[in-house]
Amino acid sequence: MLDLSCTEDLPREYRSHFPIAGRFAYLNHASVSPLSIDSRDAMSRMLEGVSSGADRRFPEWEQSNTWSRAAAARLVNAKPHEIAFLRNTSEGLSVIANGINWRRGDNIVTSEAEFPANIYPWMRVQQLGHVELRLQPARNGWVDTEELLSRIDERTRLVSVSWVQFGSGQRLDIRRIGRHCRERNVLFVVDAIQGLGALQLDVERDCVDAFASGGHKFLLGPKGVAILFVSDRVLDCIRPTVIGWTAVKEYRDYLLHDLDFRDGAARFEGGTLNEAGICGLGHSIDLMLNAGPERIERHLLSLNEYICHGLRERGYEVNGHTASERSAIVVCQHPAHRAEDLLATLEEKDVIISARLGKLRIAPHFYNSREDADRLLEALPA
């Protein structure tokens, strides 16, 4: 049973880092997150350096990339060289889908409930004509893990799921799925964007072979930068298909022209990077590491249980989850009010959430307080 008293330690410590909290009850981190002053100021310093020094600041950019890579690795218990920086989740999943040497008769297992970023790359593979895409039917946006696992057979090459479902807020038991795949030598890929930064991920414990996550949701970073994790154990199974000049070991020897790929996931980065975006994401991750991933998860699960309790008291139907399926996302609906109308009512009162698939989607973060939850509940009509 979660503590409905909802500890306010984290909001007290970190609310001042987020200027948006001065006006809005911003509970929309499953869509786009605000930047903290830490990330904003770090990116501003880097851009000022570009403005005043251009490539004289090149060593600083490299140092920032290295620091941010190490922070991302620390967040998920990976090695820094297993982390690459790309543009978004779609690109990360496409890198994996396009880089596998698919064999005739292979199949891929995922769910109908997935966001398109985790469907279209596999659909394209299916269009090659000799790979089957197996979609586990979703019931009301719900993924049945038993049914998903039952679709895996001796020809399954890869399983890809979202850690947290965008439409329902359901957290999948990726540790169980990952172990099931590991025992059968099946690649396990995770779309982590709706969980990473809010919930604790350990790629070793959870048997995750690869994941992709854009930085602009619960990671609290800017748009246009993402993390791709590729484990050492599967690195050689995925070939780079977009080859940048930094993909090879001796990339500083410009006329060597030797396609000997770098060790680790950096071979997938495709060339010159978005250093300002990586800098902002690195400082966001560093802020969360300082706050403590375990504390963040505990706070969010407690705060969302408080929100669910208040919603039910006001006559809202809340997506039911078992304890292990709860995430940082709450999804609900009212039998008498359209989600779009409720959204407009909330926006008039500076309470910001989303509507997805005809329901309200509420997604706080660790700087949000019970006061923000109360503003939401009080603004919603019964």
Same domain, 98 and 226: yes
Q: CB atoms < 10 A from the CB of 161, how many?
A: 25
Query: Could you tell me if residue 32 is inside a domain?
Result: no
Same domain, 197 and 327: no
Q: CB atoms < 10 A from the CB of 25, how many?
A: 24
Q: How many residues does the chain have?
A: 382
* CATH code of residue 181: 3.40.640.10
Same domain, 222 and 104: yes
Based on the number of CB atoms within 10 Å of its own CB, is 329 exposed (0-12), middle (13-18) or buried (19 or more)?
buried
Same domain, 170 and 84: yes
Please state the domain count of the chain. Answer: 2
Query: Could you tell me if residue 332 is inside a domain?
Result: yes
One-letter amino acid at 239 equals R
CA distance 146 to 202: 22
User: Which residues sit opposite 25 in a β-bridge?
Assistant: 351
Same domain, 265 and 318: no
- Determine the pLDDT at residue 3: 52
Separation in Å, CA 336 to CA 316, 342, 373: 9, 10, 22
Full domain range(s) for residue 59: 42-290
φ/ψ of 237, rounded to 5, equals -85, -10
The tokens of 109 are what? 């297992």
CA distance 54 to 157: 46
Same domain, 285 and 304: no
Query: Could you tell me if residue 36 is inside a domain?
Result: no
199 within 8 A of 164, measured Cβ to Cβ: yes
Same domain, 151 and 93: yes
Same domain, 318 and 282: no
- pTM listed for this prediction: 0.96
* CATH code of residue 364: 3.90.1150.10
Last residue of a domain, one of 275, 290, 305: 290
**Per-residue b or e along 300-313, where b marks 16 or more CB atoms closer than 10 Å to that residue's CB:** bbbbbbbbbebbee
Same domain, 227 and 323: no
Same domain, 137 and 259: yes
Same domain, 254 and 321: no
User: Which residues sit opposite 111 in a β-bridge?
Assistant: 136
CA distance 201 to 75: 8
Helix axes 339-348, 370-379, angle to 10 degrees: 120
- What tens-digit pLDDT sequence spans the chain (382 residues)? 445 455 689 999 999 999 999 999 999 999 999 999 999 999 999 999 999 999 888 888 899 999 999 999 999 999 999 999 999 999 999 999 999 999 999 999 999 999 999 999 999 999 989 999 999 998 877 899 999 999 999 999 999 999 999 999 999 999 999 999 999 999 999 999 999 999 999 999 999 999 999 999 999 999 999 999 999 999 999 999 999 999 999 999 999 999 999 999 999 998 999 999 999 999 999 999 999 999 999 999 999 999 999 999 999 999 987 889 999 999 999 999 999 999 999 999 999 999 999 999 999 999 999 999 999 999 999 9
Same domain, 227 and 105: yes
- Determine the pLDDT at residue 322: 86
Last residue of a domain, one of 290, 322, 345: 290
Query: Could you tell me if residue 34 is inside a domain?
Result: no
CA distance 289 to 75: 7
